Amino acid sequence: MIQILTYTVLGFLCLQLLNVCLNVIFHQRLKQADWPGNNLVSILIPARNEEDNLPGVLNSLQNLSYQNIEILVFDDESNDGTANVVKSFAKIDQRIKLFQSDGLKESWRGKNYACYQLAQVAKGDYFLFIDADVLLNTNIIESSLCEMQKRKLSLLSVFPKQVMKTSAERKSVPVMNYILLSLLPLVFVRYSPFKAHAAANGQYMLFDAVAYRKYQPHKRFKESVVEDIRIAQFYKKVKAKVGCYLGDERISCRMYKGYDEAIAGFSKNVFMFFGGSRLLGILFWSFTSLGFIPAFILGMEWFVSVLLLTLIIRIMIAKLSRQKFGLNGMQFLQQQVFMAQVMLNAIMLERSKKLVWKGRSIA
């Protein structure tokens, strides 16, 4: 039995390593490029209580090299100074406009409703949805447009480089890229016909406006907490091409500023990384956290093999994610504890129907 468990763990780790190697080989990252056209790009920002984040993102958008943009912000019933921040920027830059909610409609999730409402007033040839905590720099839009044209994409999504300033963030935020890059070669998002190989990140989703208006994706998945993944799966189903990429210095995000906030945030969608299966999520955690135990019992050479594979995988993912392994690698055990807490929290909150995000129930 111990031998079978050890072989299973080693097989799983080898599969992880293969996926990571494919991500290294095919290097799904936006190349530096200049866009020959002057298409209008609508940058659409859903914002609920984002008073602290909006100055950063709006400043970064004003300083982009691509200037033919409109910046539309939807104030989703905020109870802080979100609207006032946008109004102050709009006085200086006429491309910035504020839209305010008239109340969340029944059966809609807040962010989906905000995105949908913004799309109804957007005039661009492309719709770029970003979160209020995302910063864009230099020629990220030109590179995105060139990639869309080159690959004939209807949707391009990017996982930003994650900014981590505290120990609490290093214990939590790297878990997202660890799961993603060890389970899914991102090149499969573009070429595989299977919806299990669909991925997207709501922090940065660039749509061809014609396709968006045709499919109305945020309306189609108005009740979904993980609308980004659902949209990517649907686009694959209707043969609309999707591309998913890793970010660099041109796109960054500081997702969570504290440990408890990270647990609440990841609890919304942690099992979607595993196709919505709790069992697969728990097995993933068990193999990556406890796999060394049967290997140690079987013999030192097996134990060393498990540790070596784990170390190689972690180093490669840190490099792909533009993270410093020295800082984040030392948090390995804490990251596994965090993953367990998130999964447990997600299960408990789903059962009690008390899953809340930004003051709204999303159970």
pLDDT tens-digit readout, 306-324: 999 999 999 999 999 988 7
Which of 174, 178, 175 lies closest to 313, judged by CA? 178
Q: Within 13 Å of residue 211, how many CA atoms lie on the same side as its CB?
A: 21
The amino acid at 312:
I
Rounded to two decimals, the pTM is 0.93
What is the pLDDT, as a whole number, of residue 10?
94
Between CA 215 and CA 77 the distance in angstroms is 27
Between CA 363 and CA 359 the distance in angstroms is 12
309 and 17 Cβ atoms separated by less than 8 Å: yes
Between CA 231 and CA 54 the distance in angstroms is 26
Taking 90 as the threshold, does the pLDDT of residue 66 lie above it?
A: yes
What is the mean predicted confidence (pLDDT) over 142-169?
Answer: 95
353 pLDDT band, cuts 50/70/90, is low
360 pLDDT band, cuts 50/70/90, is low
Q: Within 13 Å of residue 95, how many CA atoms lie on the same side as its CB?
A: 18
What is the pLDDT, as a whole number, of residue 258?
86
Domains of the chain plus CATH, in order, are 2-25+262-361 (no CATH), 27-257 (3.90.550.10)
Between CA 202 and CA 269 the distance in angstroms is 12
Which of 84, 86, 83, 102 lies closest to 94, judged by CA? 86
Between CA 305 and CA 10 the distance in angstroms is 8
Q: SS3 helix, strand, coil % of the chain, rounded to 5?
A: 55, 15, 30
What is the mean predicted confidence (pLDDT) over 237-260?
Answer: 94
Strand duo 41-47 + 126-130: pairing: parallel
Tokens standing for 248?
């660099």
What is the pLDDT, as a whole number, of residue 336?
94
86 pLDDT band, cuts 50/70/90, is very high
| Phi and psi based region of residue 27 (left: phi greater than 0; alpha: psi -120 to 50; beta: remaining) | left
What is the pLDDT, as a whole number, of residue 324?
79
| Phi and psi based region of residue 240 (left: phi greater than 0; alpha: psi -120 to 50; beta: remaining) | beta
What is the mean predicted confidence (pLDDT) over 48-56?
Answer: 96
Which of 208, 201, 196 lies closest to 245, judged by CA? 201
Q: What is the crossing angle of helices 174-183 and 300-320, to 10°?
A: 110
Q: What is the mean pLDDT of the chain?
A: 93
Residues 6+ apart with CB under 8 A from 110: 46, 48, 76, 77, 104, 358, 360
**Burial class for 340, CB neighbours closer than 10 Å (0-12, 13-18, 19+):** middle
Tokens standing for 284?
């993933």
| Phi and psi based region of residue 44 (left: phi greater than 0; alpha: psi -120 to 50; beta: remaining) | beta
